[in-house]
Amino acid sequence: MAAAESLSLAPSHPLDPLTEEEIQAAAMLAKSQLGERASFCSVALVEPSKEALQRFAAGAAVPRKLRLVGYDYPAGARPDGGFDALVDLVSGAAEIRRISHGQAPISYADVVAAVTIAKQDPGWQAAMRQRGIEDFENVQIDPWPASGYPHASIPAGHRAHRCISFVREDKADNGYARPVQGLIAHVDLTAGRVAHLEDHGVVPLPPESGRYDAASQPRLRPAPKPLEISQPQGPGFTLNGNAIAWQNWEFRVTVHPINGLVLHQLGYRDGGELRPILHRAALSDMVVPYGDTDPMHRWKHVLDAGEASIGNCVNSLMLGCDCVGEIRYLDHVAINPNGAARRVERAICIHEEDYGILWKHHDGHSQTTEVRRSRRLVVSTFHTVGNYEYGFYWYLYLDGTIQMEVKLTGIVGVSAVPSGKERPEFAPLIAPNLASPIHQHLFCFRLDFDLDGPVNSVYELNTEPLPVGEDNPDGTAFRSVARLLGSEAQAQRNVDVARSRSWKVVNPNRLNRLGAPVAYRLLPGATPTLLAAPSSKVAARAGFARHNLWVTRFDESEINAAGDHPNLHPGGAGLPAWTQEDRSIEETDIVLWHTVGVTHLPRPEDWPVMPVEYCGFMLQPVGFFDRNPALDLPAH
């Protein structure tokens, strides 16, 4: 009985999500070498190579290798970045690698420690009393990554945070209504002390509270009428473990600590053939750089994925609130600092949505109308990272379109500002004496295309007006110009809305019925790039954000756009380093990296909680099919 049970728990596919048992077994193996001091920040499945995944046959032995990242201070012992352990559950071998550049990411244990250290510091307590704050119980401390700015007095190799404070009326209050302006505690976590207290002077707390729960509102509007979404025959997709099939689409889904929601082996069943499109598609890292010159904010540029492990911050979703309709969920299992597994129930939401009209035409001659409704499959997660929430939504459509939509919500960063001292170009007022600094959110998505196989090329498409001339006498002509991006240096590109710029991945060795290579095109939104100076620390540490597009030659070690250990890393890792070689990207296995985002100029309507803002991109078949692939959709 016990044997049968453990067999049923054993993974049957190399991309099956990690189980509690696997995580705990791997943590034990790592600890047997590291000792009990090991504190775990994250765990991830080491995904087998493309070749190994292709070779894998159902029923074969499943390789299971886990990567556990963490640190083992205190000790005064090793001032390094912690450990990055590879544990092979099949052989029982654990290989411990030390992190020499950067640090293991921020963990929950760090956050708790930083808060405790700051609150116990006599200097911090004195600075709070100077501001008339005596009740430290209701002070909320947000530890921020020191990013590129650990205080000079904190030795290299020590883990560092910058702690900023907010005052709550009670435990349930929204602390962001009352930021403690001017005060930053530089915490040396390794030494367990406040290394430096930065105080720019006392500013009064803003007067208003910022509660956003229903009970705190003066009145509520009548509730909207019930809207019920029902699928009496059940959902239209099938779920087998983490493998999903829906309307010709087939793929797998997991959650990764840095990359968050990951789509694996996405293909489209075309006739009898399952045609590969994306081997792996996910966030690779992200950065939130602040533009305000205020010393409270100008150093802020958190890499919520690489530094804060956005995947560890995945929410447990609630039916009827986070998701409506005929929903299926998948759990995610993460790791606690002590190596115990932590299950997040209902982490990945999967459902279908009606999406209006897919295609339509009314024929005036015959007075007939043909119309089909659009439907999309939605696969999503939501993540809370400090004051902000990020939702990642993959949409798959009936016509072969793929879309990524990022949803940004939560609570904006804040400053207390005395009347008459407002600086709206840097930090617009959002409530009386409360300002919110201008900032960006830049997300870099890694799109590992295998379009009908691994050998692909990338073109840039620009629409250009023609000069007036013999063949363009009226000056009306414009044309599409396709240019091959031949090398990694040539493929560092930005959006150009005026030229309707897009990028096209082609398989030069597979032609459609019109004789053109099959292709998918990346349609960017009107999206910014990093505004900080190229010489800035954020530009060095989050170099991916300097361009909307990068293309690299595939290398299985190149997954995270800012490098594997960006916490307290001085910069230069990731995309800018990999592309130094300027490898050829023509007719080879390529990876697209697309940076999208928003430049957020906060508005009063963003307070006290921000209505969702959106950004993202589309991937659209261009001659991948021979005609509209949704002609075969039955009429209603």
Question: What's the burial of 398, exposed, middle or buried (CB within 10 Å: 0-12/13-18/19+)?
Answer: buried
Q: Is 256 in the site for Co ion (CB under 5 A)?
A: no
Q: Is 600 in the site for Co ion (CB under 5 A)?
A: yes
Is-cis flag, bond preceding 467, omega within 30?
A: no
Q: Which stretch binds Co ion (CB under 5 A): 16-24, 38-46, 62-70, 596-604?
A: 596-604
Q: How far is the CB of 606 from Co ion (least distance, A)?
A: 8
Q: Which is nearer to Co ion, 424 or 475 (CB)?
A: 424
Instruction: Please identify the residue of the shown chain whose CB is closest to the bound Co ion.
Output: 600
Distances (CA, A) of 151 to 185, 186, 191, 282, 296: 10, 7, 13, 33, 14
Q: Which of 71, 388, 393, 395 is catalytic?
A: 388
Instruction: Report the chain's C-alpha Rg in angstroms.
Output: 26
Q: Which stretch binds Co ion (CB under 5 A): 23-31, 222-230, 298-306, 598-606?
A: 598-606
Tell me how far apart the alpha carbons of residues 529 and 593 are, in angstroms, rounded to a whole number: 13
Query: Could you tell me if 240 and 253 are in contact, meaning their C-beta atoms sit under 8 angstroms apart?
Result: no
Q: Which stretch binds Co ion (CB under 5 A): 141-149, 328-336, 533-541, 597-605?
A: 597-605
Tell me how far apart the alpha carbons of residues 398 and 420 are, in angstroms, rounded to a whole number: 55
Q: Which is nearer to Co ion, 372 or 600 (CB)?
A: 600
Instruction: Give 200's DSSP letter.
Output: -
DSSP secondary structure string for all residues of 532-596? S-TTSHHHHHTGGGG-SEEEEE--TT---TT-S--BT--S--SHHHHGGG--B-SSB-EEEEEEE
Tell me how far apart the alpha carbons of residues 309 and 40 are, in angstroms, rounded to a whole number: 12
Q: Which is nearer to Co ion, 178 or 600 (CB)?
A: 600
Tell me how far apart the alpha carbons of residues 518 and 524 are, in angstroms, rounded to a whole number: 20
Q: Which stretch binds Co ion (CB under 5 A): 244-252, 310-318, 330-338, 599-607?
A: 599-607
Q: Which stretch binds Co ion (CB under 5 A): 167-175, 482-490, 528-536, 600-608?
A: 600-608
Q: Which is nearer to Co ion, 244 or 302 (CB)?
A: 302
Q: Which of 562, 33, 528 is nearest to 258 (CA)?
A: 562
What token pair was written down for 341? 């597994």
Tell me how far apart the alpha carbons of residues 488 and 482 are, in angstroms, rounded to a whole number: 17
589 is annotated as an active-site residue: no
Draw the binding track, 54-93, toward Co ion (x: CB under 5 A; -: no contact).
----------------------------------------
Q: Which is nearer to Co ion, 499 or 603 (CB)?
A: 603
Q: Is 594 in the site for Co ion (CB under 5 A)?
A: no
Q: How far is the CB of 328 from Co ion (least distance, A)?
A: 31
Q: How far is the CB of 525 from Co ion (least distance, A)?
A: 16
Q: Which is nearer to Co ion, 119 or 600 (CB)?
A: 600
Q: Which of 110, 142, 304, 606 is catalytic?
A: 304
Query: How many chain residues touch Co ion (CB under 5 A)?
Result: 1
Do the strands 517-524 and 183-188 form a parallel or antiparallel pair, or are they unpaired? Answer: unpaired
176 is annotated as an active-site residue: no
**Residues recognised as catalytic:** 304, 388
Which residues contact Co ion (rule: CB under 5 A)? 600
